Amino acid sequence: MKQMRELLTLAALLAFAWPAAPSQAAERNVRFAPGATAVMLKGVIRGDGDATYVLQTIDGQVLQALLTTSNRSCYFNVYEPGQQQEAAHIGSGAGNEYSLDPATPGTYRFQIYLMRNAARRNESCRYRLSIELTGKPGGVSAGVSDRQMRDQCQTVVAQMYAVPSERIRLAAIRKGRPGPLINGAVDKGAEGIKKFRCLYTPDRRLRDVMAMTPDGE
């Protein structure tokens, strides 16, 4: 009897943790502006609805994707070329960041969804999917990647606030003047949460880190 109760409990937990069955939402092709290497895709899903984006890559490119959401039960799966029935990256376990260097030439699919427990409550999720595709055939770099920008910001902030990188949270890269910016927050323990902003030059090089909390360091 005890074993039966344990099995039923485990089944219930798995039902809540498993991704909701995807809807048949139309796939959307990822398009870049002329000369651009990155794109920001925004949207909202609700319940068992999902959003799927399709990206084409060529030989020698570097692929990076980052999903930021308004709902902690909102994730993305990535399906790589030749494996469209089984996800190569499952966000609920691996997180909402994906990179591949170099990417396999072909079609990638990014599926954004709510976990089953949230879908059953008909919750919604506002999302931003940042996709960057750099490099040219032969692996020639096309510039500073999103990952490099975020790594630069995190490294400097960790030194500035004397904290390990695990205490640093970075938002998505945004357009700024004259160059891009990244907002973030660092957990200083007893001193509280300190907000900051990493500022970049137009060619995506880190130029300054500003403390945004009035009593910040």
Tens digits of residue pLDDT in 125-168: 999 999 988 875 433 334 567 777 888 898 889 888 888 888 99
pLDDT value, residue 101:
82
User: Are 25 and 77 found together in one domain?
Assistant: yes
User: Are 87 and 187 found together in one domain?
Assistant: no
User: Are 46 and 99 found together in one domain?
Assistant: yes
Q: Let me know: does 204 contact 134? Beta carbons within 8 Å.
A: no
User: Are 107 and 194 found together in one domain?
Assistant: no
Backbone angle region of 204, left / alpha / beta, with phi > 0 → left and psi within -120 to 50 → alpha = left
pTM attached to this predicted model: 0.57
User: Are 162 and 118 found together in one domain?
Assistant: no
User: Are 151 and 67 found together in one domain?
Assistant: no
What value does the mean pLDDT take over residues 107-132?
94
pLDDT value, residue 52:
95
For the record, the structure tokens of 69 come out as: 């959401």
User: How many domains does the chain contain in total?
Assistant: 2
pLDDT value, residue 3:
52
pLDDT averaged over every residue in the chain: 82
DSSP 25-49: PPEEE----TT-SEEEEEEEEETT-
Q: Let me know: does 49 contact 23? Beta carbons within 8 Å.
A: yes
Q: Is residue 202 part of a domain?
A: yes
Domain boundary among 84, 102, 134: 134
The whole domain housing 207 covers: 146-211
Beta bridge partners of 51: 112
Strands 193-200 and 206-211: antiparallel
> Within 10 A of 214 (CB to CB), how many other CB atoms are there?
6
